[in-house]
Structure 1
């Protein structure tokens, strides 16, 4: 019973909410409250304080949390080892990823990972980079994959995959491969939405070269990569996107891809998790697996312009 109460306690602590913890555990909120009350009675200490609408750990709760999380992870590791690598393991991976890794990197790696580690179930949510970071902070995801670092005081970032950004144009436009950023002002431009990690990288790159968005002929914004690639394919404008994301349209000759002379050679994607959250053994294993297998993704776009 105490182990179950510690599991409930960690869920409330990580989500800062009794109702969210109840939803994730498929329990009623009253049941969660009862278990927390019983745990407080067991220790003779209050575990949570309510500050307005927020639930926060008391000093005693802060001390208990890392021990509770470690106890639960030891339990998970024991089950993991005892059931064996090829036996059915009741593990769950909840991954939040920005659009490029969610579409073009994680599925490739998940397919191989799930083939080796049977019985793991996963949830993969695609969101903007800022929302991915928010999901990690509020406990709605255990692992994040994104192209920009946010809330570094609360999140741990692990470099995962390097890729390059490329300039894409309609197939009817032919440019020198190493075009200068200053030449972009001559063409209509289509951008990603503002919470995109790629968009943030592009804006920073332009700023470094002394160019602002107001200097460009911006004709529109798209909230996803497919809409943006289709807009470029139809001749609406040019854009700068992930090389991985451009690959399918480039190979089918629907768009052209070019390297920008001033563009940084590589862009980094990161795994991220909450600093206060000890990862489950299957989450740790998945991250290590991906770090060792990132070449599976990199090799897919080796044919893009260098």
Structure 2
């Protein structure tokens, strides 16, 4: 067993791809495959389940991943202790994020972090909230940011941001009149409704907020379901239907008058955005530093640091 084999194994696990792992390691894909074949033969196990779409860790590979990652981190520490001062070593943090915080908060967070810790590199994986939990539990990411709390006994969910969800419609005479006369949201039962995909935190929290106002999901006329936030926004602007959206995602369209907003209630409707960590896995120094920056940026206390 060699460090090169373990490095190839971890790169494939992180990228879910032999091709991307080879590119990051600056070697050929056949060489990466040879490393894994030799490692599998030596260990007597199959490390990956290969499909036509992606590569996933097998149960045996999942067990080995954390050990391999720790070995590589220890090897880096040994090398860094002789090649450079501890304060100058390069670290990497892999972040898995759902779409809303990924598009509208992560750039601000990383900008603030880089000013304080310029030696840390980042790789960001964008998915939905369910995908964030999957990435964390499958060791594909070091830390996650999700738009809802997923039922999981393997993850910690640490609230750090209050995100307002609002109902948006096209800016037409019809909806301007509705905005003037209606005092509740019961009228939306007669409208075509656009939803995010099933794993979306925005979708889950929107349904909860509507239910708090006496409107169940079954009463909605769902006309379309999309995976991308921008697709939902453009569909509403073009009159395909109405939707529940994060204010973060539509602030520009509201300012330009392309959309109308309807508050969920007089006080507004809010959902928490969460930092996601694995319960059994000790956070790296880079992750702890990142959480410290987030705590300061959004003026919260994170006891888990």
**Which band: TM-score by shorter chain?**
0.7 to 0.9
Contact 2:210 2:264 in 1 (8 A): no
Partner of residue 302, structure 1: none
Contact 1:69 1:277 in 2 (8 A): no
Distance in 2, matches of 1:113 and 1:178, equals 45
Contact 1:165 1:263 in 2 (8 A): no
Partner of residue 247, structure 1: 251
Rate the CA distance shift 1:137–1:176 in 2: closer, same or farther, 3 A: farther
Cα deviation for residue 198 of structure 1 reads 0.7
Distance in 2, matches of 1:164 and 1:156, equals 22
Distance in 1, matches of 2:151 and 2:77, equals 28
Structure 1 stretch displaced more, 177-186 or 142-151:
177-186
Secondary structure in 2 aligned to 1:149?
coil
Which digits, 9 at most, give the CA deviation of each residue in 1:145-183, with x for residues without a partner?
001222531112211211111111112222159952323
Distance in 2, matches of 1:223 and 1:100, equals 12
Distance in 2, matches of 1:269 and 1:221, equals 22
Paired residue total? 278
Rate the CA distance shift 1:178–1:157 in 2: closer, same or farther, 3 A: farther
Distance in 1, matches of 2:239 and 2:48, equals 53
Structure 2 residue 203 is matched with structure 1 residue 199: yes
Contact 1:179 1:260 in 2 (8 A): no
Contact 1:178 1:261 in 2 (8 A): no
Distance in 1, matches of 2:192 and 2:40, equals 58
Contact 1:49 1:55 in 2 (8 A): no
Q: What is the TM-score normalised by the length of structure 1?
A: 0.72
Partner of residue 297, structure 2: 293
Distance in 1, matches of 2:119 and 2:181, equals 47
Rate the CA distance shift 1:36–1:75 in 2: closer, same or farther, 3 A: farther
Rate the CA distance shift 1:156–1:112 in 2: closer, same or farther, 3 A: same
Structure 2: runs of 5+ lacking an equivalent: 50-57, 300-305
Structure 1: runs of 5+ lacking an equivalent: 39-46, 296-306
Which digits, 9 at most, give the CA deviation of each residue in 1:46-84, with x for residues without a partner?
x99779974449xxx89xx78x94994797599699443
Superposition CA RMSD, Å? 4.1
Rate the CA distance shift 1:164–1:76 in 2: closer, same or farther, 3 A: farther
Cα deviation for residue 240 of structure 1 reads 0.9
Cα deviation for residue 133 of structure 1 reads 1.2
Partner of residue 155, structure 2: 155
Structure 2 residue 119 is matched with structure 1 residue 119: yes
Secondary structure in 2 aligned to 1:277?
coil
Regions of 4+ moved over 6 Å: 22-27, 32-38, 47-53
Q: What is the TM-score normalised by the length of structure 2?
A: 0.72
Cα deviation for residue 101 of structure 1 reads 0.5
Partner of residue 189, structure 2: 185
Secondary structure in 2 aligned to 1:152?
coil
Structure 1 stretch displaced more, 190-199 or 97-106:
190-199
Contact 2:209 2:269 in 1 (8 A): no
Rate the CA distance shift 1:276–1:104 in 2: closer, same or farther, 3 A: same
Distance in 1, matches of 2:48 and 2:241, equals 49
Contact 1:93 1:142 in 2 (8 A): yes
Structure 1 stretch displaced more, 216-225 or 261-270:
261-270
Distance in 1, matches of 2:248 and 2:222, equals 23
Contact 1:129 1:146 in 2 (8 A): yes
Residue 268 of structure 1, aligned match among 245, 269, 272: 272
Distance in 2, matches of 1:37 and 1:223, equals 40
Partner of residue 215, structure 1: 219
